[in-house]
Amino acid sequence: MEYRQLGESGLSASAITFGAWAIGGWMWGGAERSDAVDAIRASYNEGVTSIDTAAIYGQGLSEEIVGEALKGIPRDKVQIFTKFGMRWDDTKGEFSFKSQDNNGKPLDVYKYAGRESVIKECENSLRRLRTDYIDLYQIHWPDSTTPIAETMEALADLQKAGKIRAAGVSNYNVRQMAEAERSIKLASNQVPFSMINRGIESELVPWCIEHKKAILAYSPLQRGILTGKIRPGHTFNAGDTREDSYFYKQDNIVRINAFLDELRPLAASKQATLSQLVIRWTLERPGITIALVGARDARQAVENASAIRVQLSAKEIAWINEKLYALELA
């Protein structure tokens, strides 16, 4: 495994980090708890020492599973990342969207990161994660109802108290990051990035490189479509919201699969899966520090972690990019 520094925080993390959204079940159509625990432990055995979760994932369930999975592993051998600011148990702040919990019960989600809420959420996450500190604590989405300074000052207080080691943001733009930096030194920004979703490269990536901020790329496999396993006509489980996504429109599934078919011979030549090739490509992208990749079971976890062993030459990366830039989605 490769390990990379998160900005200037002094915090090191595995380049491939376990993304724990799917194991919470929420918006992914459910998951077996025992399989999820096994997936996290299998990842750790492969050198994946970092795990990213959030309070909203399964409304606390993902954090609970992470806490269970890490029981018995020395705390200083893993890095726990989690997020706050998406409230399903309060109506303060900015209404975000309507959803359903894992039992199909209606759920209203609000973006809120007021000071007292941040402190309360941290304590709740610590309890669910069965730990006394969080390595990287991130605001999940910008909250338009709370001054950024108020949120960041709360993080600074948590840092001083030893409750968190480093502070990060998620889904922030350059202006918001610069404003946050007036109150606390940020380690990172967690943002969506994949072969077919490269919008951050125009402004955010150059800014983060210049200011020495890590970028944690989430959905590098674009919620599974870049694995090559989702073909036209794919049937999704109940509660799985991916079929409503732009990238999962039938025309786009066809076009993305045609692109992936061009990559298959290169992957085969390296005795790698498409997923592994895509993950390695992501980690070679300028400014990308970490690739967050989820797994529902131990087999997937080991496959993801093994992507670190794939080697791509500059010529091969250029060839992939040529094919990629020719891809046009509907």
Q: Using an 8 Å Cβ cutoff, are 299 and 229 in contact? A: no
The answer as to whether 196 is a domain residue is yes
Higher local confidence (pLDDT), 314 or 223: 314
In degrees, rounded to 5, the angle at the alpha carbon of residue 260 between the alpha carbons of residues 170 and 252 is: 70
By DSSP bridging, strand 290-293 and strand 16-19 are parallel
Q: Which two tokens stand for residue 243?
A: 């079929």
Average pLDDT, the chain: 94
The answer as to whether 296 is a domain residue is yes
Has residue 31 got a pLDDT over 70?
no
57 is known as an active-site residue = yes
Has residue 100 got a pLDDT over 90?
no
* Catalytic residue of the set 57, 110, 137, 218: 57
78 residue type, one letter: V
246, with CB counted inside 10 A (0-12, 13-18, 19+), is exposed
Q: What percentage of the chain carries pLDDT values higher than 70?
A: 97
Residue range 126-166, pLDDT digits in tens: 999 999 999 999 999 999 999 999 999 999 999 999 999 99
The answer as to whether 129 is a domain residue is yes
Residue range 46-88, pLDDT digits in tens: 999 999 999 999 899 999 999 999 999 999 999 999 999 999 9
The answer as to whether 183 is a domain residue is yes
DSSP string, 285-309: STT--EEEE--SSHHHHHHHHGGGG
Residue range 234-248, pLDDT digits in tens: 877 776 777 778 898
The answer as to whether 71 is a domain residue is yes
pLDDT at residue 43 in the model: 97
pLDDT at residue 26 in the model: 56
The answer as to whether 254 is a domain residue is no
Specify the range with the lowest mean pLDDT, choosing from 33-42, 46-55, 77-86, 224-233.
224-233
**pTM (predicted TM-score):** 0.93
The answer as to whether 253 is a domain residue is no
* CATH at residue 52: 3.20.20.100
The answer as to whether 329 is a domain residue is no
Residue range 186-199, pLDDT digits in tens: 999 999 999 999 99
Task: Give how many domains the chain has, as a whole number.
Answer: 1
C-alpha 51/C-alpha 13 separation (Å) is 9
Residue 124, domain extent = 3-228+273-311
